[in-house]
Amino acid sequence: MANLAQTRSEPAAGPTAAETDAYLRLGLRNRWHPVLPSRFVADKPIGIRRMGERIVLWRGPGGAIRAMADRCPHRGAPLSLGRVADDRIACWYHAVEIGADGTVLCVPGEPGCSLEGKRLVKTFPAREVKGAIFLWMGDALHPDPAPYTPPPQLQEGAYDAFLSYQEWKTPWRFLYDNNMDPMHGQFLHAQSHSMARGERKAEFAIRATDTGFVFAKTTQKDVNFDWSEWCDAGAIYCRLEIPYPASGGPGGNFGIVFHAVPIDEGSSACFFWRFRKVSGWQRDAWRFLYKTRLEARHFAVLEQDRAIAEGMDADADRAEHLYSHDGGVVRMRNILRAEARAQLKALRAAGLDPLAKSEA
């Protein structure tokens, strides 16, 4: 099998390949990213880290998600340790109050102080999709969100989906590599209930789509994990389908919509929506079977992926020897790098350098 070289030509000007990769270690900006299952956020503030940033979340009137930098503008205490009331958050340290739009509303220790009325805390546009909170993670040049229409599998209608959320100690890019690599199903998951059948050899082809591409076996279809799709449509994600055996009950193929967002450079938050095209009684059967039998099996399969991903060194992709089955991974990496390089170049042109900032 021919060795598959990755196209990494150094640009004449602008960020180098190494700088682009360093920038990408904290994820791709200017996209909607899921950050947490909806059920994790209630009336109390909760602090998380995503793409290296500390973020506090809470629910305002009517349950609307509020999200802002988890850093008090006074002396930097975590706002997530504070208290929420009347759609404002009060820092625990000296009780400075911040409104939902990031404005300092009150400095109790010094009423009328110049902080009051200033918008000093960065906020994040938020929305909820199929049981998860998505935030717009824009860069400094793109604070306003781009449109994002969730795929049909995450909308009400023909599909039914369960969300599985996990945090893995591995860089986010390895997780997307794993999802754009259908061939591992035939080996790593060979003992599973849904990936035990089919050929151990395959050829692949890439088909472009409006939002990315499909990487699919040309030698086998609807037998095993035979294709995966890369999508970039306001949010980045993968989508795949695997046929179920008869023991999986009635309905269409089993499928996954997958997102990963970096927590930091070495760990990631993973969102697996496990879906099936079902309606009526088949939908009820799917929901019952999933909860009583299938969820545990999928969890066991996922643990195999986790063992591989967490077992890899953080720079495992520094020296690889790829072959044609890695064509989807290569295409995706090239897309991500081109986009990241453009972002980094624009930020630098505006006098902003996120790499310099992270080293400060």
The residues binding Fe ion (CB under 5 A) are: 305
Interaction of residue 74 with ligand FES, rule CB under 6 A: yes
Task: Please tell me the distance from the alpha carbon of residue 44 to that of residue 58, in angstroms, as a whole number.
Answer: 6
- Name which of Fe ion, ligand FES, none residue 181 binds, using a CB cut-off of 5 to 8 Å depending on partner kind: none
- Name which of ligand FES, Fe ion, none residue 121 binds, using a CB cut-off of 5 to 8 Å depending on partner kind: none
Sole residue written with tokens 């909607």: 32
Cα 223 to Cα 110, 202, 286, distances in angstroms:
69, 12, 20
The nearest distance, CB 319 to ligand FES, in angstroms, is 46
Nearer to ligand FES, 94 or 127 (CB): 94
Task: Please tell me the distance from the alpha carbon of residue 201 to that of residue 186, in angstroms, as a whole number.
Answer: 9
Rounded to the nearest 5 degrees, what angle is found at the Cα of 356, between the Cα atoms of 352 and 360?
A: 125
Interaction of residue 91 with ligand FES, rule CB under 6 A: yes
Task: Please tell me the distance from the alpha carbon of residue 265 to that of residue 263, in angstroms, as a whole number.
Answer: 7
97 DSSP β-pair partners? 90, 106
The nearest distance, CB 224 to Fe ion, in angstroms, is 11
**225 touches 212 (CB < 8 A):** no
By CB under 6 A, which span of 87-95, 144-152, 237-245, 339-347 interacts with ligand FES? 87-95
- Name which of ligand FES, Fe ion, none residue 94 binds, using a CB cut-off of 5 to 8 Å depending on partner kind: ligand FES
- Name which of Fe ion, ligand FES, none residue 72 binds, using a CB cut-off of 5 to 8 Å depending on partner kind: ligand FES
Task: Please tell me the distance from the alpha carbon of residue 230 to that of residue 237, in angstroms, as a whole number.
Answer: 6
Q: What is the H or E stretch that residue 286 is in?
A: helix 280-289
- Name which of ligand FES, Fe ion, none residue 77 binds, using a CB cut-off of 5 to 8 Å depending on partner kind: ligand FES
Task: Please tell me the distance from the alpha carbon of residue 305 to that of residue 185, in angstroms, as a whole number.
Answer: 10
Q: Which of 259, 355, 265, 235 is nearest to 52 (CA)?
A: 265
By CB under 6 A, which span of 88-96, 125-133, 182-190, 199-207 interacts with ligand FES? 88-96
The nearest distance, CB 94 to ligand FES, in angstroms, is 3
Task: Please tell me the distance from the alpha carbon of residue 239 to that of residue 220, in angstroms, as a whole number.
Answer: 18
The nearest distance, CB 78 to ligand FES, in angstroms, is 9
Nearer to Fe ion, 233 or 238 (CB): 238
Sole residue written with tokens 């999200």: 67
Question: How many Cα atoms within 13 Å fall on the side-chain side of residue 203?
Answer: 5
The nearest distance, CB 108 to ligand FES, in angstroms, is 9
Interaction of residue 96 with ligand FES, rule CB under 6 A: yes
- Name which of ligand FES, Fe ion, none residue 305 binds, using a CB cut-off of 5 to 8 Å depending on partner kind: Fe ion
Please give the DSSP secondary-structure letter assigned to residue 119. Answer: B
Single residue of 46, 77, 285, 316 touching ligand FES by CB under 6 A: 77
Interaction of residue 93 with ligand FES, rule CB under 6 A: yes
Nearer to ligand FES, 8 or 75 (CB): 75
- Name which of ligand FES, Fe ion, none residue 91 binds, using a CB cut-off of 5 to 8 Å depending on partner kind: ligand FES
**242 touches 298 (CB < 8 A):** no
Tell me how crowded residue 209 is: count the other CB atoms within 10 A of its CB.
11
Residue nearest to Fe ion (CB): 305
Nearer to Fe ion, 21 or 305 (CB): 305
Strand duo 53-59 + 31-37: pairing: unpaired
Q: In the numeric block, which tokens belong to residue 185?
A: 């199903």
Q: In the numeric block, which tokens belong to residue 160?
A: 């039914």
Nearer to ligand FES, 96 or 240 (CB): 96
The nearest distance, CB 71 to ligand FES, in angstroms, is 9
Q: Which residues bind ligand FES (CB under 6 A)?
A: 72, 74-75, 77, 91, 93-94, 96
